Amino acid sequence: MFSHAITRVPGPDYPQGLTTSTLSAPDMALTLAQHAAYVDCLESLGVEVTVLPPAPGFPDACFVEDTAVVVREVAVITRPGAPSRAGETATMEAPLAALRPLARIEAPGSLDGGDILQVGKRFFIGVSDRTNAEGARQLAAILAAHGYESSVIEVAAGLHLKSSLNFVGNNTMLVTADFAGHPAIADFDQIVCPAGEEYAANTLLMNGTLIMPAGYARTRSLLEPLGLPIVELDTSEYRKMDGGLTCLSLRLEARLP
């Protein structure tokens, strides 16, 4: 169970962030309203949420998940693969140091938290345009010291691993067609997002509830047999910047006694 989450309010320069989308520019009033609804949703699920202020000069900084990988024992400060995001990690060190001992990914490694999926004591590390093999190696070594095992997956489609692959409970992965049948997840049941609904693969399992982007009825119908509560949130202004539900927070389990 997650006890705490860290989020960051999007700054006024958010529309100048990185994106491959051809959609219109984000509407800032709607962006902020959607962020507030996200925080309210996490709090409704029993999570204490720390909401950090905007980070001037870092338009992508609301995507806090990319800055760290957090387990019960340690918070690993990442080294984002996009040069414009390099300074974001410095803004996260103090909030995380209050909650966990810190470790760091060092050059020449690069690593974005959006490429990291945890399922219990197992980690799936995506090697992508933002996370390189050296970053994956360093993270796996840090995690192994605390009893976690890791598998590396090449990300051939989508910005991050979790753009296309997420754990949705009941030994089940929600995947896009690109990852269906991947050998790294052969021991999981798989739900494949229907064509045209690939964005819905970025669904977040939070304390027994599935939080999914609004507007993907076919994917929802495939998730409903899992028997978990489902909450839909509008993420239209985050999709415009290649963002989604998982990347808007860092989720922390309670520390071990």
- From the CB of residue 100, how many other CB atoms can be counted at a distance below 10 Å? 17
- From the CB of residue 65, how many other CB atoms can be counted at a distance below 10 Å? 27
**Rounded to an integer, what distance in angstroms lies between the CA atom of residue 118 and that of residue 197?**
23
Q: Among residues 35, 41, 62, 160, which one is catalytic?
A: 160
Question: Quick check: is 247 catalytic?
Answer: yes
Tokens found for residue 136? 């994956």
**Rounded to an integer, what distance in angstroms lies between the CA atom of residue 149 and that of residue 24?**
41
**Rounded to an integer, what distance in angstroms lies between the CA atom of residue 66 and that of residue 243?**
11
Strand runs labelled E in 128-169: 149-154, 165-167
Q: Classify 81 as helix, strand or coil.
A: coil
| 158 Rama class: left (phi>0) / alpha (psi -120 to 50) / beta | left
Tokens found for residue 35? 């962020």
DSSP one-letter code for 54: P
Question: Quick check: is 193 catalytic?
Answer: no
Tell me the DSSP string of 192-221. Answer: EPPTT-GGGG--EEETTEEEEETT-HHHHH
Q: Classify 123 as helix, strand or coil.
A: strand
User: Residue 191: beta bridge partners?
Assistant: 174
Q: Among residues 41, 62, 193, 247, which one is catalytic?
A: 247
Which sequence positions are flagged as catalytic?
A: 160, 247
